[in-house]
Structure formats: C-alpha cells, structure tokens
C-alpha cells in the first residue's frame, strides 16, 4: 500500500472498519448488477446460424440471474416474449406457430 493510501486509513481503529470503508467505495451494488443483467437479457439477439440450444441456455441463465436478483416480471409470458423476440428472422414461422397454436411451455420453477 502506498504511503498516501496508508495515511488515509490511519484514522480507522481496526481492520474491519477499513474493510467496511473499502466495500463502500469499491463494491458493485445489486442495483447495478440487476441493470446489467436486464440490459443483457433485453439486448441479446441470436446470430443467424448459431446454436438455438446454446442461445436458449444463455437466455435461461439470464432469467435465473434476474430471478435471483429479485427483478421478476409480473408474468412468465414476459420472459418467453423476450426470448422469442431474441430469435433471428429464420425463426419467424416457429414464433407464429407458437403464438397461434397456444403452445404453453413453462421453463421457470
């Protein structure tokens, strides 16, 4: 630790106080993490020709992260809509069939 930083922490009585101060300065808040995961979830688009299975696993992973961060949406359909919207145009017929035939699939517990 440099002398300047060391002098800054001389006023603290113990290591715990120093650690608390450092956490306040450098810790990433849950709010910021939730923002980043939400941004990734809404902004992810599957690249044409890539694996739909890998894309699905990644999207479900983001859904689980959002749920763990308590960033739940009101209905499960919202998650499904966003995932369907993330698919490339070659899946348009699948999406139409999914919506028209009332396919109801659940992936959340």
pLDDT per residue as tens digits for the range 85-104: 999 999 999 988 888 887 66
Token digits of residue 31? 């709010």
pLDDT of residue 87: 95
SS (H, E, C) 13-26: CCHHHHHHHHHHHH
Is 34 among the domain residues? Answer: yes
pLDDT per residue as tens digits for the range 47-93: 999 999 999 999 999 999 888 888 777 777 888 889 999 999 999 99
Is 21 among the domain residues? Answer: no
Number of domains in the chain: 1
All residues at 6 or more sequence positions from 70 whose CB lies less than 8 Å from its CB, including other chains: 34
Contact 108, 76 (CB under 8 A): yes
All residues at 6 or more sequence positions from 65 whose CB lies less than 8 Å from its CB, including other chains: 37
pLDDT of residue 101: 83
Range of the domain at 48: 30-100
Is 22 among the domain residues? Answer: no
The secondary structure element, H or E, covering residue 44 is none
Is 63 among the domain residues? Answer: yes
Is 9 among the domain residues? Answer: no
pLDDT per residue as tens digits for the range 24-35: 777 667 778 888
Is 105 among the domain residues? Answer: no
């Amino acid at each position: 630790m440099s002398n300047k930083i060391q002098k800054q922490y001389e006023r603290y009585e113990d290591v715990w106080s120093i650690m608390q101060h450092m956490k306040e300065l450098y810790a990433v808040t849950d709010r910021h993490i939730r923002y980043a995961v939400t941004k990734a979830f809404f902004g992810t688009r599957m690249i044409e020709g890539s694996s739909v299975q890998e894309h699905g696993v990644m999207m479900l992973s983001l859904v689980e992260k959002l749920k763990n961060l308590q960033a739940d949406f009101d209905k499960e359909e919202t998650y499904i809509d966003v995932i369907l919207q993330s698919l490339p145009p070659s899946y348009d017929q699948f999406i139409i069939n999914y919506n028209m035939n009332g396919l109801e699939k659940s992936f959340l517990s």
